[in-house]
Amino acid sequence: MDVTMQTPVALVLKEQLPGLVSLNSEDVLKTEQEQKYRARMLYMAMILGNGYKSKVKITFESIDGPKKVDTTVWATTDTSVLLKGGISLPVCTIYSVEY
């Protein structure tokens, strides 16, 4: 699902994420193919963040609907993305990653 093409998505600061992240554990992406693609994009975002200090735009589901954050990805796991500043974002809430 490409949320960015359907509706305007508000850009938020990464420091605002702890109060915005949806606690719903259901994945926003429904197909296995979309989830695998997201995992590859997050891995590449981690490589860009660690190797080149590059930022990416991550579109995610918040308690108020879709939001976007421009940030550096430091690490990824199967369930979480660790951002610069020690802030984490659940993978299941992420729609897309843009470089």
User: How many domains are contained in the chain?
Assistant: 1
- 40-55 pLDDT, tens per residue? 999 999 999 999 999 9
Q: Is the pLDDT score of 4 beyond 50?
A: no
Distance of CA 84 to the CA centre of its chain: 13
- Coil, strand or helix at 11: strand
- Of 71, 68, 93, the closest CA to residue 82 belongs to 71
Q: Is the pLDDT score of 6 beyond 70?
A: no
Residues 24-51: what's their mean pLDDT?
A: 96
For 24-86, strand residue ranges (E) read 56-62, 65-71, 73-76, 80-83
- 45-90 pLDDT, tens per residue? 999 999 999 999 999 999 999 999 999 999 999 999 999 889 999 9
Range of the structural domain that residue 60 is part of = 3-98
